[in-house]
Amino acid sequence: MKQLSKILVAILLLSNTLLSAQNRSEAEIDHKIDSLLALMTLEEKVGQLTLFTSDWDVTGPTIRANYKNDIQSGRCGNIFNAHTAKYNRELQRIAVEETRMKIPLLFGYDVIHGYKTIFPIPLGEAASWDLAAIEKGSRIAAIEATAAGLHWTFAPMVDIARDPRWGRIMEGAGEDPYLGSLIAVARVRGFQGDDISANNTMLACVKHFAAYGAAQAGRDYHTVDMSERMLRDQYLSPYKAAIDAGAYTVMTSFNEYDGVPATGNSFLLRDILRDEWGFKGFVVTDYTSINEMIPHGIVANEKEAGELSLNAGVDMDMQGAVYYNYLKELLKENRINMVQIDQSVRYILRTKYLLGLFDDPYRYSDEARQQRLLLAPEHQEAARDVARKSIVLLKNDKNTLPLSKSVKTLAVIGPLADNKTELKAAWSGAGEDQHSVSLLTGLKDKLGNGVKINHAQGCDFEGTDKSGFKAAIDLAKKSDVVIVAVGERASMSGEAASRAHITLPGVQSDLIKELVATGKPVVVVLMNGRPLAIPEIDAIAPAILETWFLGTQAGPAIADVLFGDYNPSGKLPVTFPRNEGQIPIHYNMKNTGRPMDPNNKYTSKYLDSPNTPLYPFGYGLSYTTFTYSDIKVNKEVFTPREELKINVTVSNTGKRDGEEVVQLYVRDLVGSVTRPVKELKGFQKMMLKAGESKEVTFTLTANDLKFYNRQMNFTYEPGDFELFIGTNSADTKSRKVKLVE
Ligand code: GLC
């Protein structure tokens, strides 16, 4: 029998090479998969549902020592955290030459914002509002990662996040469903390209499904509790957009939804993902999230957890070894069935076919490509370009910026002034410190020997030690301008990195105050993974740049903006609160029955803080100025069968060319349920030369006004709407229109 099955497998593999993946029809792929399934043992099938980490780069709390034996026995069909062409080729060789079925391994890795060339953190890239640049960054990440033996990235992370205490806010696209959905699509297109069988495209993985960003109190892994209406209206659209864009995989989130952990939640994984959205790819868990349903208190043991997950629609178990250990028993006890197992195996094998792995399992492990493509010059230029575009100018009193290149002496101060370690931030893939360019180096490269640049760290990120202040202040007093680079360590955001206080850590604020007290012009350069509450700094610093963590090309990009070689165009994708007490605070909140009235005590406000944020969603300044005309519409009253054309003229009234992100918001004034005071429904990023004016047109239809009504139907309702157009969510022109039946 063994000899016969070997011959059959050989025939099957031979037939596989006759047709390459992209020419194969679904029917042909189904036929191939049926033939494989017919030959596979139960252990081999469960092996395809098993994902283990390599021992190179652990991103979670546990590690399995014998993953190579698991590959050899056919009991592990997928590996993550293994990378480089050479290493992955060796692991793949074990799978396709030493196992009975010779099914290729799938290699996954967290390529979140770059593989070797590190791009700005996703929250920073979102601030560019430049979908083409974001797609290009993901495209380059895929080119580098697939040259290093990888087929699958655990990205994009599309979790809507409205709590800056949550460390993973750095990993997504901020607070807004509309912007988040467009960015999700750009990232999926970047990773997967037009042909998933090409050797420079990779599977995307939409995560974390669902609503992980709504963790209570911003504390990672905490409970998520929201209505189905809130889930559907505010949190699901980026996941759906990514799946509609063709994402091949989805990752479940650690959190519960409506009392059931996502990893065991059939409402999410079957009713919504499969039945409503028609998802055809496979679902992978997050790291041991099946096992974690025990502490969630929804199952008593791992066997029950495995039963709940498979029945809920989970196809692949990441690192938990629950399917590995219990599916056989569960099958024997008829608590699951072979149809379910075969369906999950089918989803995974189909993906491997589509990648072309059955045609050539080594096609992604090409050392020559890896040598040529990693850190390629064109990748550095692209990284520098999107980094520049991600920078947000938060304040610029008296046109402190841009600085003049004829400045004589520059003081560059702060823990991030000459730091390369933090720039790549959390989730920095295979990025290495030595490839990053610090701010100090970026400035020296730009200014050459013509400018005297003095550097002092001044203080550390944390602690109360101010012994470095004096040297820093002495340098500042001897300089024409002071640049102070402050913020967070990379480890202060990302996974398991929530902060209860979102001010500048340590004594950095005190350092800024003493530098400002010298009377020299001080430019604050922030490097951080979340919105920071810095009202004191905003009150005294003449200029503030939000630069997030910009990755490999951080230094040159910041220097480009500081000295005006690039006019900053970034806009905040997330609200910056004045203090933690305001959280959650985001632009698209409800009006309430007692909206804030400063003259009426009994309205919604604080005794000790304004309601308004420090900086609103969509906010960002430029080195030039823009004005907006009043809004014109093609009709005051429109029907569901008509298009509403909305025009405004934007003028660059300054002396510099600059880009503006013109934003369109809408408010549904009366609905069958209460509606947000604003919702982003469009934006256009455009270059305007000094003195130039452009007419901007937005088109809306009734379909753009849909929401989940009182009966939970996704529909629009006739009535009055208010349109807002402006340079950010708070500074807008408005006018009303009416939708009639
Ligand atoms: C982590 C993260 C997830 C990541 C996975 C693999 O716990 O939650 O985003 O993709 O494990 O590293």
What is the rounded average pLDDT of the residues 351-364?
A: 96
Distance from C-alpha of 236 to C-alpha of 210, rounded to nearest angstrom: 7
Measured in Å, residue 550 CA sits from the centre of ligand 1 at: 21
- When pLDDT is cut at 50, 70 and 90, the band that residue 68 belongs to is confident
Q: Between vectors from CA 381 to CA 377 and to CA 386, what angle results, nearest 5°? A: 145
Q: Which ligand 1 atom minimizes the distance to the CA of 157?
A: 9
- Measured over the CA atoms of residue 17, residue 20, residue 25 and residue 26, the dihedral's sign is positive
* Closest to 134 in 3D by CA, of 145, 125, 144, 123: 125
Which residue has 């979670």 as its token pair? 60
- Output the ligand 1 site: residues, CB below 6 A: 59-60, 110, 154, 207, 286-287, 495
Q: Which residue's CA is minimally distant from atom 12 of ligand 1?
A: 59
Distance in angstroms (rounded) separating the CA atoms of residues 711 and 714: 9
Task: Give the pairing of strands 50-53 and 714-715.
Answer: unpaired
pLDDT of 685 higher than 70: yes
Q: Determine the 3-state secondary structure of 601 from DSSP.
A: coil
Annotated catalytic residue: which of 286, 315, 317, 418? Answer: 286
- Rounded distance, CA 303 to CA 323, Å? 8
Residues 457, 461, 463: CA angle, nearest 5 degrees = 110
Task: Please give the full DSSP string across 91-105, using - where no structure is assigned.
Answer: HHHHHHHHSSS-PPP
Ligand 1 pocket test, candidate residues 54, 107, 150, 287, most atoms within 8 A of CB? 287
Assess whether pLDDT exceeds 70 at residue 317: yes
pLDDT tens, residue by residue, 466-524: 999 999 999 999 999 999 999 999 999 999 999 999 999 999 999 999 999 999 999 99
CA–centroid distance, residue 489 to ligand 1 (Å): 20
List the one residue out of 173, 166, 315, 334 whose CA is nearest residue 242.
173
In this predicted structure, the answer to whether residue 179 has a pLDDT above a threshold of 70 is: yes
What residues form DSSP beta bridges with 543? 396, 523
Tokens of 655: 């002396």
Instruction: Give the integer Cα–Cα distance in Å for 433 and 407.
Output: 30
What SS3 state is found at 518? Answer: coil
Between residues 18 and 28, which one has the greater pLDDT?
A: 28
> Is the pLDDT at 65 greater than 90, yes or no?
no
Among protein residues, the one whose CA lies closest to atom 7 of ligand 1: 287
- Between the alpha carbon of residue 162 and those of residues 29, 180, 474, 476, the distances in Å are 43, 12, 41, 37
In percent, the amount of the chain with pLDDT more than 90 equals 94
Task: Centre a 10 Å sphere on the Cβ of residue 275 and count the other Cβ atoms it contains.
Answer: 10
Which residues are 413's β-sheet partners?
456, 484
Q: Whose CA is nearest to atom 3 of ligand 1?
A: 286
Please, what is the average pLDDT of the chain? Answer: 95
For residue 544, what are its two tokens?
């503030």
Catalytic residue status for 286: yes
One-letter amino acid of 683? F
Exposure string (b/e) for 19-49, b if CB count within 10 Å is 16 or more? eebeebeeeebeebbeebbeebeeebbbbbb
> Strand 152-153 relative to strand 256-257: parallel, antiparallel, unpaired?
unpaired
Angle at 676 between CA 675 and CA 678, to 5 degrees: 130
In terms of DSSP H, where are the helices of 292-337? 293-296, 302-312, 322-332
Residue 623 has pLDDT above 90, yes or no: yes
Whether 137 shows a pLDDT value over 80: the answer reads yes
Residue 458 identity (one-letter amino acid): G
Gap between the Cα atoms of 531 and 488, Å rounded = 11
Lowest mean pLDDT among 67-76, 417-426, 608-617, 674-683: 67-76
Q: Per-residue confidence at 2, pLDDT binned at 50, 70, 90?
A: low
pLDDT at 177 over 60: yes
Superfamily of domain 388-576: Glycoside hydrolase family 3 C-terminal domain (3.40.50.1700)
CB proximity list for 2: less than 8 A, separation 6 or greater: none
Whole-number Å distance, alpha carbon 216 to ligand 1 midpoint, is: 19
Alpha carbons within 13 A on the beta-carbon side of 715:
12
Q: What is the pTM of this model?
A: 0.96
pLDDT at position 133 is 98
pLDDT of residue 13: 54
pLDDT on residue 55: 79
* Listed residue (345, 326, 494, 478) closest to 411, CA to CA: 478
Distance CA 275, CA 268 (A): 10
Go through 216-251 and write b for each residue having 16 or more CB atoms within 10 A of its CB, e for each that does not.
eebebebebeeeeeebbbbbbbbbbbbbbbebbbbb
Q: Vertex 149, ends 146 and 154: CA angle to 5°? A: 65
Q: Which of 56, 106, 286 to mutate to test the pocket of ligand 1 (most atoms within 8 A of CB)?
A: 286
**Distance between CA atoms of residues 263 and 255, nearest Å:** 8
Superfamily designation of domain 43-369: Glycoside hydrolase, family 3, N-terminal domain (3.20.20.300)
Helix (H) or strand (E) holding 293: helix 293-296
Token pair in block for residue 328: 């056989």
- E strand intervals along 386-505: 392-396, 409-413, 452-456, 481-487
Determine the distance separating the centroid of ligand 1 and the alpha carbon of 325, expressed in angstroms: 22
Which tens digits make up the pLDDT trace of 644-667? Answer: 999 999 999 999 999 999 999 999
Three-class SS of residue 497?
Answer: coil
Look up tokens 């698209």; give the residue: 588
**What are the boundaries of each domain within the chain?**
43-369, 388-576, 626-739
- Summarised one tens digit per residue, pLDDT across range 393-416 is 999 999 999 999 999 999 999 999
Name which residue sits closest to atom 1 of ligand 1, judged by CA.
287
Kindly give the number of the ligand 1 atom that is closest to the alpha carbon of 59.
Answer: 12
Closest CA to 624 of 544, 567, 571: 567
Res 18 pLDDT > 60: no
Q: What is the pLDDT of residue 712?
A: 97
Torsion angle of C-alpha atoms 267, 271, 277, 283, degrees rounded to 10: 60
How far is residue 127 from each of residues 53, 62, 118, measured CA to CA in Å? 33, 35, 17
pLDDT at site 22: 55
Q: Is the dihedral of CA 261, 266, 272, 273 positive or negative?
A: positive
Residue nearest to atom 8 of ligand 1 (CA): 286
Contact 303, 328 (CB under 8 A): no
Q: Which tokens belong to 29?
A: 């792929």
- CATH architecture of the region 626-739: Sandwich (2.60)
Distance 9 CA to ligand 1 centre (A): 35
**Would you give the DSSP letter of residue 454?**
E
CA of 304 to the centre of ligand 1 (A): 23
Q: What is residue 19's predicted lDDT score, i.e. its pLDDT?
A: 44
